[in-house]
Amino acid sequence: MTASLPELVTGALVLAGAFFFLAGTAGLLRFPDVYCRLHALTKADNLGLGLISLGLALQAPNWTSRVQILLIWLLALAAAATICHLLARSSLREGVPAVGVDTEVNP
Amino acid sequence: MDDFLLVVAAFLILNVGAGLIRVARGPSPADRMLAAQLFGTTGVAILLVLAQATHTPALRDVALVFALLAVVVSVAFVKRGWVRTATSMEEENGGGEER
Amino acid sequence: MRRISLVWLLVFALVWIVLAAPRYDAWVAGGIAVLTGVILHTGLGGRQGARITLRGLMGFVPFFLNQSVRGGLDVAFRALHPTRPLDPTFTPYRTGLPEGPSRIFFVNCISLLPGTFSAQFHDRDLRVHLLTDDAEGARKLETLERKVAGLFGVRLEVPEGGTPADSDSSATRNERHG
């Protein structure tokens, strides 16, 4: 079995992307509070998705597919930023305690 | 190439599965809602990989919808879901959020 | 009534072509979708002053990609490190960006760049969560702010207070007792 150069590049990018998803999940499970977990998900997962998208775009059959993949990534970025902000804001409002910060939870 | 991508997709699905531990454990409703984020990004990645591996371009459209729905779900949660969950938890556990 | 922008009509039409790629016979639905998109975009204030320039885009995209990679590596390192080195904190930040798209864009970018996300914002005052409590955090925000200003071709206004106000956090605390 032989793989062409573009296939090797795609393979490397997709593997790197999968690694960042693994890291994101590790952060989600290991980080101490909801705010830190949000960091893990938004950053690691979006870089992971970016790398996988880039890798797959190299294999895409035509330009519209490539642009479509790019659009999906941009949309996912916007979604992640929005979700992150919303969850953090409502967590603060509901007084979910943060590690290392003296946020007062209602007495 | 296709087999390799299928393995990657399986790995990503395992990732989502591991993330579900956080959903089950909580403790706050927002921790559980992180699942929407996880499904959003990882789900999109899985669908993109599968679209390539199985030569089904339609799956890319599904990925697009996934990304959109993740936002809608989160907005709905923040606007409606949270208040109800938080109050019902307080009623059940006397204000304690840990279990 | 704001005028419908031809540029945006073209952009939305291109998006439709990409989405409906192999089916050019779907233009009835496409036409409706594109028009709705443009009208909503105009109605929601898409033409408020700020305008993305090509030069700004060339400056911003490499910066954003570079920072995204760093953000991912940084958080991956912390998540996989045996001791999870974290020192999280909230910090207030006052932005000099004018109201409108550039400010919203800035707030969203904060959440995507290394070690920071925006937790609350009201007017000019942001509340940013930092993964590590160090002086670098504020500097990174200032750099990002300048890049966003460049992207939208807007000038940074000097905030009235000068230093970022701490009132934001105390206001939230009072809210909880109210």
Q: Which residues of C touch A35 (CB under 8 A)?
A: 88, 117, 119, 129
Q: Does residue C91 share a domain with residue C34? A: no
On whether any CB of chain A is under 8 Å from the CB of C39, the answer is no
Q: Residue A95: is its pLDDT beyond 80?
A: no
Q: C58 and C139 share a domain?
A: yes
C66 interfacial to chain A (CB closer than 8 Å): no
A11/B4 touch (CB, cutoff 8 Å), yes or no = yes
Q: Which residue segment(s) compose the domain that C59 sits in? A: 54-176
Q: Which two tokens stand for residue B38?
A: 């996880």
Q: How many CB atoms lie within 10 A of CB C25?
A: 9
- Say yes or no: C102 and C136 in one domain: yes
List, for chain C, all residue ranges whose pLDDT scores fall below the cut of 50. Answer: 1, 161-178
Q: Do C120 and A67 touch (CB under 8 A)?
A: no
Q: How far is C106 from chain A (nearest CA, A)?
A: 11
Entry pTM: 0.79
**What total number of domains does chain C contain?**
2
Task: Confirm whether the ipTM is greater than 0.90.
Answer: no
Q: Examine the domain organization and report whether C33 and C83 are in the same domain.
A: no
Candidate from A70-79, B39-48, B88-97 with smallest mean pLDDT:
B88-97
Residue C48 within any structural domain of the chain: no
Question: Which two tokens mark A51?
Answer: 């790398």
Rounded CA-CA distance A20/C72 in Å is 7
Residues C124 and C163 grouped into a single domain: yes
C39 and C58 inside one domain: no
Residues C108 and C168 in one domain: yes
What would the mean pLDDT of A66-76 be, rounded to a whole number? 87
Do both C74 and C36 map to the same domain?
Answer: no
Question: Are C103 and C22 members of one domain?
Answer: no
Residue B14 is inside which H or E element, if any?
Answer: helix B2-25
Chain A contact for B43 (CB, 8 A cutoff): no
- Which pLDDT value is given to residue C158? 66
Question: C105 and C148 in contact (C-beta within 8 Å)?
Answer: yes
Residue C112: per-residue pLDDT? 81
Report yes or no on C86 lying in a domain: yes
